[in-house]
Amino acid sequence: MNRHGVMLTAGFAVWASAFVLLYAMLSVGCRFGWHEMAFAGTSLQRVQLAVILLVHVAAGAAIVWMLGGQGNRADGTAIFMRRAGYAAALAALASTLFSFGGVFFLSTCH
Amino acid sequence: MTDKPPMDSPIRLHKQLAAIWDTPPGWGRLSAVNHTILGKRFMIAAFVFFAIGGLLAMLIRVQIATSGTAFVGPDVYAQIFTMHGTVMMFLFAIPMFEGLAIYLLPKILGTRDLAFPRLTAYGFWCYVFGGSILIVAMLAGVAPNSGWFMYTPLSSSTYTPGINADVWLLGITFVEISAMSAAIEITVSILKLRAPHMSIERMPIMAWYLLITALMMLFGFPPLILGSILLELERAFDLPFFDPTRGGDSLLWQHLFWLFGHPEVYIIFLPAAGAVSMMIPTFARHELVGYRSVIVAVIAVAFLSFGLWVHHMFTVGIPHLALAFFSAASGLVAIPTAVQIFAWIATLAQGRPRYDVPMLYLGGFFVIFILGGLTGVMLAMVPFNWQAHDTHFVVAHLHYVLVGGFVFPMMAAIYYWLPHMTGRLSDHRLSVPAFWLIFGGFNVTFFLMHLTGLLGMPRRVATYPAEAGWDWLNLLSSVGSFLMTIGFALFVMDLVVQVRFGKPFRRNPWHARTLEWAMPTPPPSYAFASLPKVTDRADRIDADSEAAALAAGRGYLGQARNGWQEILDVDMSSGRPLAIVVLPRRTYKPLVSGLLTGCFVLCLLFKFYWLSLLFLAFAIASLLAWSAGTGLKEDMGDLPIGHGEMAPTHWESDRPPSWWAMALACSADATLYASLLFGALFLWLVAPGWPPETVAGPAIAPVIVAAIAVVLAAMAGRRAVSALQQQVAPKLWLLTAGLAQLVASLAFGFMAAQVPEPTSHAQQATLFVILAYGGIRAAIGVLLAGFGLWRNHAGYLSARRSLDLRIGRIWHDYSCATGIVGLMAAMLLAYLAGNVEAPR
């Protein structure tokens, strides 16, 4: 069950991690004025938020890719959980992009 | 159902099982631990509180029916609306769902009871006593009056100097004991106590809903409990967590409250949606369409619901990008909710629906909940939210969501499952007019409230001027609310008529295909005379033929043995039987523990702090006394369970329900502790008045002592288990673990006592709480080590029977990990406060 539980929730766990880190680091960056520090053609604030988001998108995509495989086709429970986990991971990946895509273009600290 | 029938006849088996499982009449009823009895008691108590909350709603509507009303003054009005929200959210909605879950869950899972019957009873008493404190306070005129979400600084002692806010903080925390215990019990029962071979993908859909809801409660309620503790500490001992003049921040309360508060909406909705998912297939005469998609949708709702709490705080001045995160999540959550609604519609479209009264109420649910969802999406959009914030539009929205998403499905569920509880059917003469009065009255009341809100009427105002132009809308709303009340009165009368005079039926009146109908109705105390072997999805059961076979004892555990209340522990994924769980029988101990806990809470409320410590000790001792007489004093080995299979008792198995319960309790506590650390960092980063004039930090010597002690305790706890399993006496290791935890507790206590003036600044106050909390956890470790020593001395332990020590080991490991984290956090916070000054 532990393995199956991880399958079901891995995608949204990545979404949750992205949420916590982005919200926390946004607050830290705004407090320390990172949005006013130029870095790589934009602000340090935007760069660090974008990196956090991209790392999580990559992790979410990796989970989708892993769960998209065949797995153990003899075990009905495993097949069910893998397919459910795959759908959940896809939904989580889309949610990650939709929820946090604003880090690329919205003003960060106003 | 192919096993050889046992020697006993169904009637003899019934008598034998009833002798073991039944609760005696008279005063003996107070000893009940049976899920059927307690589930009904929870629901009846919740209905009583619902009636009280409804009465308060009527008073609200009288007060604001017209402009300039002098029905009650602003002080009383504040108590009324605060108590209305508090009663409906904490004393009706959550306990009502708990009651339904407690009653139904073992039955739909094909087992005889929940994992921890005494915990169910203890939760019930905590709920009733805690709720009673609130109601008595209201009758005495000292009810909470700061709004049901108790925003600081209004609820702080400066602006609410009486005990009103303390009643809320202590009473609700007391009630939350019941919610947390139910969450652990529901989770463990679903994962571990299903019918044999009911693999996880065969579970009835409601079990999925309840599992996910219970997990949400485990991680959603701790922030509220922490917030309540911190606010009570501030009010009682002047520790300034929320006081901006001393480094605190009232926004911390809002974060902690809504981190619980918004998932709470889904915690209320999801069980109701689970009930909907059980009823619609029955009336559609078609199994649920999109079973797997619905599970994925519920998981998505569960996660997303934890990422949108700030939409309650859109106007407090948070950066726009953060608002975008929460706005997006708030809008997104509508998608998985819609997936469920489309699945229900598709089930109806695919089947051959037949009408009955539960379907009428489900129709009301569809209309009202969808409207509430749409206004929810409107409020998720920041610009609209800013316009409608704190107006009656929000009041209308939340009532559409909660009444539509919970009350209407629950009324449908009552009509659906009341025949199961009573063995009688309704003639439905009152249920239809009751529905139309409730449905019509509700919409008149709350649809118009959208308009009053858009016209600018704020929430919680006791009166308004005639020039505002809100009179006729408010008057119509009040008329609608009284129509709705008449409808609810008819509904109650209909239930009474059904219970007293309903037509008896033999079995399964709805032709449902789930396991709760594969038993006599009303159900016997043991639910199933023998446990079913589930080889297909649990919503494809032929309940009638299954019931006869199970009553004849042709399933698992179809016998009475040793006077034991037996159920089966199964593998979480496959449902393969692993162990026989022997449940505790009826006892007054939960009642005694509940009373002592209540005395502890009352002592805190009336500020008898030294006396409260005495009652706390009594309460803990009474809880420990639950274990007296439970367990085995000799190894039993594997025992027959039916179908030619054998299994050990749970005391001799690897990871029975109690092991998982401890693991889950640690997870909930870790959430609370993480919230505390988050709060400390939040204050450093955001709160005004930092850095403090004097930065406090723990001295290095006690830090080292505490760290070594918690590590030593964890190692000794582990060695005690391995020694026992190698047939070596674990006494020395248990003593070591206990002494190490004692040293750790003293070291943490010493460090907390050394914090200079915790009332002077939030930095000192948070440091004090972080360290004191570490000491409390270590003290619990002392108790658990002592408990292990006693169980060993009393002969309950052997190489095979090491469960008690393995449960203790979880705690020692957990308190070690969190102790180290706490020490590091204490030093980090001191460093940040003293050396890293954030620009403000």
B355-368 confidence digits (pLDDT tens): 999 999 999 999 99
CA dihedral sign, ordered B193, B196, B199, B202: negative
CA–CA separation, B96 vs B86, rounded Å? 14
Q: How many CB atoms lie within 10 A of CB B545?
A: 11
CA–CA separation, B752 vs B755, rounded Å? 5
Q: Are B332 and A81 within 8 A, CB to CB?
A: no
- B386 burial (CB, 10 Å; 0-12 / 13-18 / 19+) is exposed
Q: Are B300 and A23 within 8 A, CB to CB?
A: no
Nearest to B261 by CA among B293, B301, B217: B217
Quick: pLDDT tens for B150-168: 999 999 999 999 999 999 9
pTM exceeding 0.90? yes
Position B104 pLDDT exceeds 80: yes
How far apart are the CA of A32 and the nearest CA of chain B, in angstroms? 6
Q: pLDDT > 70: what percent of chain B?
A: 99
Helix (H) or strand (E) holding B579: strand B577-583
pLDDT at B188: 98
A14 touches chain B (CB under 8 A): no
- Summarize the confidence of residues A15-19 as an average pLDDT: 97
Position A2 pLDDT exceeds 80: no
pLDDT at B284: 97
Q: Give the model's confidence band at B255: pLDDT under 50 very low, under 70 low, under 90 confident, else very high.
A: very high
A1 touches chain B (CB under 8 A): yes
Question: Which tokens in the block code for residue B217?
Answer: 């409660």
Q: Give the model's confidence band at B428: pLDDT under 50 very low, under 70 low, under 90 confident, else very high.
A: confident
Residue from the list B296, B300, B321 with its beta carbon closest to the beta carbon of A26: B321
CA–CA separation, B54 vs B756, rounded Å? 49
Instruction: Give the residue with greater pLDDT, B839 vs A48.
Output: A48
Residue among B296, B305, B570 with most chain A CBs within 10 A, to mutate = B296
- Locate the chain A residue with the closest alpha carbon to B837: A32
- DSSP symbols for A7-73: HHHHHHHHHHHHHHHHHHHHHHHHHHTGGGSEETTEEHHHHHHHHHHHHHHHHHHHHHHHHTS---T
Position B624 pLDDT exceeds 70: yes
Q: Give the model's confidence band at B427: pLDDT under 50 very low, under 70 low, under 90 confident, else very high.
A: confident
Q: How many CB atoms lie within 10 A of CB B261?
A: 18
Maximum pairwise Cα distance, chain A:
57
Q: Are A109 and B299 within 8 A, CB to CB?
A: no
Q: How many CB atoms lie within 10 A of CB B27?
A: 8
CA–CA separation, B715 vs B809, rounded Å? 9
Nearest to B546 by CA among B290, B291, B198: B198
Instruction: Give the residue with greater pLDDT, A70 vs B293.
Output: B293
- Summarize the confidence of residues A17-32 as an average pLDDT: 95
CA–CA separation, B712 vs B706, rounded Å? 10
List, as ranges, residues 43-102 from A with C-beta within 8 Å of B. Answer: 49, 76-77, 80-81, 83-84, 87-88, 91-92, 95, 98-100, 102
- Locate the chain B residue with the closest alpha carbon to A20: B307
Q: Are A95 and B325 within 8 A, CB to CB?
A: no
- DSSP symbols for B150-186: T-TTTTSTTT--SSHHHHHHHHHHHHHHHHHHHHHHH
Q: Are B686 and A27 within 8 A, CB to CB?
A: yes
- Summarize the confidence of residues B331-338 as an average pLDDT: 96
Q: Give the model's confidence band at B3: pLDDT under 50 very low, under 70 low, under 90 confident, else very high.
A: very low
First vs last C-alpha separation in chain A: 45
* SS3 label, residue B65: coil
B506 touches chain A (CB under 8 A): no
Q: Give the model's confidence band at B659: pLDDT under 50 very low, under 70 low, under 90 confident, else very high.
A: very high
Q: Are A80 and B292 within 8 A, CB to CB?
A: yes
How far apart are the CA of B21 and the nearest CA of chain A, in angstroms? 31
pLDDT at A72: 67
B780 touches chain A (CB under 8 A): no
How far apart are the CA of B317 and the nearest CA of chain A, in angstroms? 9
Position B1 pLDDT exceeds 50: no
B645 touches chain A (CB under 8 A): no
Which residues, in sequence order, are CB contacts of A26 under 8 Å at separation 6+?
A45, A49, A108, A109, B319, B321, B322
B320 touches chain A (CB under 8 A): yes
Q: Are A15 and B320 within 8 A, CB to CB?
A: no
Q: What is the mean pLDDT of chain B?
A: 95
Which residues, in sequence order, are CB contacts of B280 under 8 Å at separation 6+?
B288, B344, B347, B348, B362
How far apart are the CA of A98 and the nearest CA of chain B, in angstroms? 7
- Chain A neighbors of B683, CB-CB under 8 A: none
* SS3 label, residue B502: coil
| Helix, strand, coil share of chain B (percent; to 5) | 70, 5, 30
Contact B713, B815 (CB under 8 A): yes
Nearest to B724 by CA among B790, B654, B817, B806: B806
How far apart are the CA of B105 and the nearest CA of chain A, in angstroms? 20
pLDDT at B40: 97
Quick: pLDDT tens for B768-799: 999 999 999 999 999 999 999 999 999 999 99
Three-state SS letters, B683-700: HHHHCCCCCCCCCCCCCH
Cis geometry, peptide bond prior to residue B522 (ω within 30 degrees of 0): yes
- Summarize the confidence of residues B630-642 as an average pLDDT: 94
Contact B544, B567 (CB under 8 A): no
Q: How many CB atoms lie within 10 A of CB B163?
A: 19
Residue from the list A19, A107, A109 with its beta carbon closest to the beta carbon of B307: A19
Residue from the list B292, B325, B685 with its beta carbon closest to the beta carbon of A84: B292
How far apart are the CA of A106 and the nearest CA of chain B, in angstroms? 6
β-pairing verdict for B503-504 and A42-43: unpaired
- Locate the chain B residue with the closest alpha carbon to A14: B303
Residue from the list A4, A13, A84 with its beta carbon closest to the beta carbon of B573: A4
Quick: pLDDT tens for B537-588: 999 999 988 999 999 999 999 999 999 999 999 999 999 999 999 999 999 9
Residue from the list B201, B336, B839 with its beta carbon closest to the beta carbon of A77: B201
Contact A50, A58 (CB under 8 A): no
CA–CA separation, A93 vs B145, rounded Å? 43
CA dihedral B548→B552→B555→B557, nearest 10 degrees, is 140
DSSP B424: E
pLDDT at A28: 94
Question: Which tokens in the block code for residue B500?
Answer: 């007293």
Q: Give the model's confidence band at B8: pLDDT under 50 very low, under 70 low, under 90 confident, else very high.
A: low
Contact B247, B761 (CB under 8 A): yes
Position A1 pLDDT exceeds 70: no
Question: Which tokens in the block code for residue B111?
Answer: 């087992």
Question: Which tokens in the block code for residue B68?
Answer: 């300039």
Residue from the list A22, A31, A76 with its beta carbon closest to the beta carbon of B325: A22
pLDDT at B835: 86
B839 touches chain A (CB under 8 A): yes
Position B466 pLDDT exceeds 80: yes
Q: Give the model's confidence band at B7: pLDDT under 50 very low, under 70 low, under 90 confident, else very high.
A: low
- Chain A neighbors of B201, CB-CB under 8 A: 76-77, 80-81
CA dihedral A67→A71→A73→A77, nearest 10 degrees, is -60
- Locate the chain A residue with the closest alpha carbon to B840: A31
- Chain B neighbors of A108, CB-CB under 8 A: 319, 321
Contact B466, B67 (CB under 8 A): yes
Q: Are B838 and A23 within 8 A, CB to CB?
A: no
- B363 burial (CB, 10 Å; 0-12 / 13-18 / 19+) is middle
pLDDT at B389: 95
Q: What is the mean pLDDT of chain A?
A: 92
Q: Are B324 and A106 within 8 A, CB to CB?
A: yes
Position B618 pLDDT exceeds 90: yes
pLDDT at B2: 42
Position B294 pLDDT exceeds 70: yes
